[in-house]
Structure 1
Amino acid sequence: MIEWRNLYRGLIMGSSDVVPGVSGGTMAVLLGIYERFIEALNGILSKEWKKHIGFLLPLAIGIVIAMVSLAEVINWAFENYPNQTLFLFLGLIAGVIPFLAHKSNYKETFKGTHYFLLILAAILVGSMALFGDGPAETEPITSFSTDTYIKLFFSGWLASSAMILPGISGSFLLLLVGMYSTFTHALGNFIFEALIPLGLGIVLGLLIMSKILRYLFDRYYYQTYALVIGLVVGSLAVVYPGLESDMMLNVLSAITFIIGLLAAYGLGRLEY
């Protein structure tokens, strides 16, 4: 049975995956489907593949629609209201944390080791903010060779491995390796020579990382949740754009942040 409710969830995940610094995995946590998402990716090659296809297909359709249709919208928002756009996502990410804390039952389950893992993960992800001035302005690749296809494949693998981890943005990693402009250009213009190797890398990366995460959840459930919370907390430092000199723009940023928080709260109440 196809779970068409996942279509809107995919739209939310896909729109966040386009934004450097924001993780689709974080949105999956907010939507209450993170563990189910990992389970479905693991089960896609099992005997119960039909059940998992029913979960993943509408999710994938929503993600693709959002990434293709919203790529230009988000580019426009970043060009015209960069801080306000990031504060909106900052509010969404901050709103995830209470639900993660509740899910992990941290007051009863967390001990010193769990807090150490949480802080370590937060520091590791937060340190990515130091690379915020990476090669964002590289020109998109428009001519293709064997070397280019290999680079695109491994870029897709790297990005998808990050996409599935809450707090780590696949788009941000593409930005760091100088492939983000190629990614958005290929999406916006349907350049299949770039999209096919990228897509193959993304699929393989998702399958491999999902198996690693399934193993961790099965063996070290609360330790893994401590890591996930740390990844999300650390991503706040990556997404935070700072304040502007114009007070009215800062007020607008505060409003979009509150909208993000309220949206996270509403989605959380809907899904949990």
Structure 2
Amino acid sequence: MGAADVVPGVSGGTIAFITGILDTLLNSVRKINPSLIDVIRKQGLKAAFIHVNGTFLGVLLAGILTSIFTLAKLISWLLSHHPIPVWSFFFGLIIISVIHMLKQVQGITPARVILFIAGILFAWAITILNPIALQPTYLNIMIAGSIAICAMVLPGISGSFILLLMGLYTPILGAVKSLDVAIIMCFACGALFGILTFSHLLSAMLRRWHDATLVFLTGLMLGTLGKIWPWKQTLTWRTNSRGEQVPLVQENLLPNQFLEVTGHEPQIVFAVAAMLAGIMLVWGLEKFAAD
């Protein structure tokens, strides 16, 4: 989840769903509410820790942070130097994940088809929005944190891409790099508020309208495929926290167009191999979970 969350266009929530931990994550976070105070008062901290599935949350958080501080640099380097295989890998990952999710839906109805299409259109609309430039005030940072964290646990929507759209991706990464405690704490407070409120909503929807919610979430995932299409032409650039020029607005191209427009090889063989690797990874996880 941590590795996926640092890539604009890929959702950590997708990884959570693929690995089968999304329901457990939502249910665990949902238990962090005012009633937890009564549990602490009557039964103690150990009981409260067990009540919120603290071991699971602790291990998950440790894994996310470890991935961010270890794999993030590797993924950033790969995106800069070998973007086509990396995006192809995630493309295959999303395609097989869509199939995996649809297999869990019990029957297709006209209403579910409409929800599926709505999810696709909603995600697609987000991916083609032009970034805005919000000022990195404490209030904006807190709002960004609450919105981004919701996207990070929602399959199909990338939290880092939401930050890009808000124009706050670079300031927040810069704050993390420079250890700007004030900005980090504002973002963390917003993220905490967002996850505690949104987890209740998403968990309730999955309990009451499981298949309908699943279909909509699957549409969200499918709608982001345009964002992670491997062959792109960069139209505008942005400056990251290290002062480097990185792509901001891009246009999708066919492999033969990519060669004509950019003069670079489309690396079709590597792209197909990486895509198959992504597909096999999810297929393997599905088989492992079944066993």
Q: Name the TM-score class by shorter chain.
A: 0.7 to 0.9
The one-letter amino acid paired with 1:259 is A
Q: Tell me the TM-score normalised to structure 1 length.
A: 0.83
Please point out which of 275, 280, 284 is paired with 1:257.
275
**Structure 1 unaligned regions, length at least 5:** 1-12, 142-146
Is 1:20–1:172's contact at 8 Å kept on the other side of the alignment?
A: yes
CA distance in 2, matches of 1:26, 1:73: 20
Is 2:84–2:266's contact at 8 Å kept on the other side of the alignment?
A: no
Q: Tell me the TM-score normalised to structure 2 length.
A: 0.78
The one-letter amino acid paired with 2:81 is N
**Structure 2 unaligned regions, length at least 5:** 40-46, 232-254
Give 1 or 2: higher strand fraction.
2
Is 2:87–2:230's contact at 8 Å kept on the other side of the alignment?
A: yes
Give percent identity, aligned residues only: 28
Indicate the SS of the match to 1:233: helix
1:84 and 2:85 are equivalent in the alignment: yes
After superposition, residues 135-174 of structure 1 pair within 5 angstroms as: 148-174=137-163
- CA 218–55 in structure 1, closer or farther in 2 if over 3 Å, else same: same
Indicate the SS of the match to 1:104: coil
Give 1 or 2: higher helix fraction.
1
CA distance in 1, matches of 2:111, 2:82: 41
**1:85 shift after superposition:** 1.6
Indicate the SS of the match to 2:20: coil
- The superposition leaves residues 185-239 of structure 1 with CA deviations (integer Å, 9 ceiling, x where unpaired) of 3334443333221112112111111011122122212111111111111121222
Name the residue aligned to 2:11: 23
Is 2:145–2:189's contact at 8 Å kept on the other side of the alignment?
A: yes
CA distance in 2, matches of 1:81, 1:171: 20
Name the residue aligned to 2:225: 236
CA distance in 2, matches of 1:157, 1:232: 21
How many residues are matched?
248
Please point out which of 104, 119, 122 is paired with 1:121.
119
**1:25 shift after superposition:** 0.6
Please point out which of 176, 181, 191 is paired with 1:202.
191
Which structure exhibits the higher relative contact order, with contacts defined as CA atoms closer than 8 Å and separated by 6 or more residues? 1
Is 1:72–1:188's contact at 8 Å kept on the other side of the alignment?
A: no
1:32 and 2:23 are equivalent in the alignment: no
Alpha-carbon RMSD across the aligned residues, in angstroms, is 2.2
- CA 247–39 in structure 1, closer or farther in 2 if over 3 Å, else same: same
